Amino acid sequence: MRAPSSELPIEFDGVTVTAGGVTILDNIALTLLPGPPTVLIGPNGSGKSTLLRVAMGLLTPSRGRITWGGLEKVPPLKRAIVFQRPAMLRRSAAANIRFALRAAGVPRAEHGRRVGELLELVGLGQLADRAARRLSGGEQQRLALARALARDPAVLFLDEPTASLDPVATKAVEDIIRAVSERNIKVVMATHDLGEARRLAGDVVMLHRGQIVETGAAASFFDRPQSAEAKTFLAGELLV
Ligand SMILES: Nc1ncnc2c1ncn2[C@@H]1O[C@H](COP(=O)(O)OP(=O)(O)OP(=O)(O)O)[C@@H](O)[C@H]1O
Ligand SMILES: [Mg+2]
């Protein structure tokens, strides 16, 4: 079992991000707690990816602060992120994972076993020796998840993990996300897909124009949205 995480809660306190004179995140107050996945939703450009980057520690707020387990300076050793279009190394699926294990400082003697476990977890056991860049989009997304998990993270950030995947590939990725969450790894993910949010979310954070317009338990968010923006978005109308 995983030891209690020192990463959580992740606390955003008045986090503002500006770039080139534009406010991308506007005074965000948010607490990410252990438990089922937190799903970020909102239209294009609402700030989902930026929020994930701040939470990962890749981007420093222009104003406000972020803490991990109450601390401001925490090296991101127990955090992992999968970007929307993960870049694969020009080598086999197994070698991509070995590279991540080495980067995470996992002793070489454990690499063989861990590579096997991780490939099995994401259903790529048969494709260990396939060149990663020759894998299908869905397979590459699963390999990217395995690589992220090689770090043995306490928190896993996923940016649109099923964008451009078909239903079968989407289901495979969602099944992995559920399995990861059941291992007590906190998943924080962005998605455009409201169906996916309903299937996976424990709680939902809805962004619009860099602000949180609504947040809450998934069941109440989907059944009884409070804000005009959430009502519009859930009704499938264009939120501009
Ligand atoms: N470095 C930057 N400089 C200027 N503007 C930026 C920068 N990074 C992001 N933005 C802008 O900030 C806004 C939010 O971007 P972000 O990628 O976080 O949105 P998103 O919700 O993930 O959108 P999408 O659904 O399209 O992925 C966008 O308008 C984007 O163009
Ligand atoms: Mg994005």
The pTM of this model reads 0.96
Residues 126 and 97 reside in one and the same domain: yes
| Protein residue closest via CA to atom 16 of ligand 1 | 47
Most informative mutation of 15, 22, 85, 194 for ligand 1 (most atoms within 8 A of CB):
22
In a domain, 144, yes or no: yes
In a domain, 12, yes or no: yes
End-of-domain residue from the set 124, 151, 178: 151
State residue 48's pLDDT score. 98
In this structure, of 69-73, 99-103, 114-118, 185-189, the range with the lowest mean pLDDT score is: 69-73
| 176 has pLDDT over 90 | yes
Residues 137 and 107 reside in one and the same domain: yes
End-of-domain residue from the set 131, 151, 171: 151
Residues 165 and 65 reside in one and the same domain: yes
End-of-domain residue from the set 151, 166, 196: 151
Point out which residues pair with 187 in neighbouring strands: 156
Residues contacting 3, CB < 8 A, separation 6+? none
| Protein residue closest via CA to atom 13 of ligand 1 | 45
Q: Is the CB of 45 under 6 A from ligand 1?
A: yes
Residues 74 and 103 reside in one and the same domain: no
Structurally, how many domains does the chain consist of?
2
In a domain, 84, yes or no: no
- Measured in angstroms, how far is the CA atom of residue 238 from the centroid of ligand 1? 18
In a domain, 113, yes or no: yes
Residues 62 and 157 reside in one and the same domain: yes
State residue 5's pLDDT score. 55
Residues 236 and 168 reside in one and the same domain: yes
State residue 78's pLDDT score. 93
Q: Is the CB of 122 under 6 A from ligand 1?
A: no
| 1 has pLDDT over 60 | no
Residues 165 and 232 reside in one and the same domain: yes
In a domain, 48, yes or no: yes
- Measured in angstroms, how far is the CA atom of residue 213 from the centroid of ligand 2? 17
| Cβ pair 81, 49 in contact under 8 A | no
pLDDT in tens, 56-66: 999 999 999 99
- Measured in angstroms, how far is the CA atom of residue 163 from the centroid of ligand 1? 16
Q: Is the CB of 21 under 6 A from ligand 1?
A: no
Q: What CATH number has the domain bearing residue 41?
A: 3.40.50.300
In a domain, 213, yes or no: yes
Residues 1 and 94 reside in one and the same domain: no
In a domain, 170, yes or no: yes
In a domain, 83, yes or no: no
| 3 has pLDDT over 80 | no
For residue 40, give the ligand 1 atom closest to its CA.
21
pLDDT in tens, 153-175: 999 999 999 998 999 999 999 99
In this prediction, residues 188-196 reach a mean pLDDT of 94
Residues 126 and 145 reside in one and the same domain: yes
For residue 192, give the ligand 1 atom closest to its CA.
25
pLDDT in tens, 210-235: 999 999 999 999 999 999 999 999 99
| 130 has pLDDT over 70 | yes
pLDDT in tens, 75-105: 888 999 999 889 999 999 999 999 999 999 9
Residues 116 and 140 reside in one and the same domain: yes
Token pair for 131: 């060149």
| 109 has pLDDT over 50 | yes
User: What is the domain range of residue 129?
Assistant: 90-151
In this prediction, residues 70-75 reach a mean pLDDT of 89
Residues 58 and 165 reside in one and the same domain: yes
Which of the pair, 55 or 2, is modelled with greater confidence?
55
Q: What is the 3-state secondary structure (H, E, C) of the chain?
A: CCCCCCCCCEEEEEEEEEECCEEEEEEEEEEECCCCCEEEECCCCCCHHHHHHHHHCCCCCCEEEEEECCECCCCHHHEEEECCCCCCCCCEHHHHHHHHHHHCCCCHHHHHHHHHHHHHHCCCHHHCCCEHHHCCHHHHHHHHHHHHHCCCCCEEEEECCCCCCCHHHHHHHHHHHHHHHHCCCEEEEECCCHHHHHHHCCEEEEEECCEEEEEEEHHHHHHCCCCHHHHHHHCCCCCC
> Which listed ligand is nearest to 41 at the C-alpha?
1
Residues 100 and 20 reside in one and the same domain: no
- Measured in angstroms, how far is the CA atom of residue 154 from the centroid of ligand 1? 26
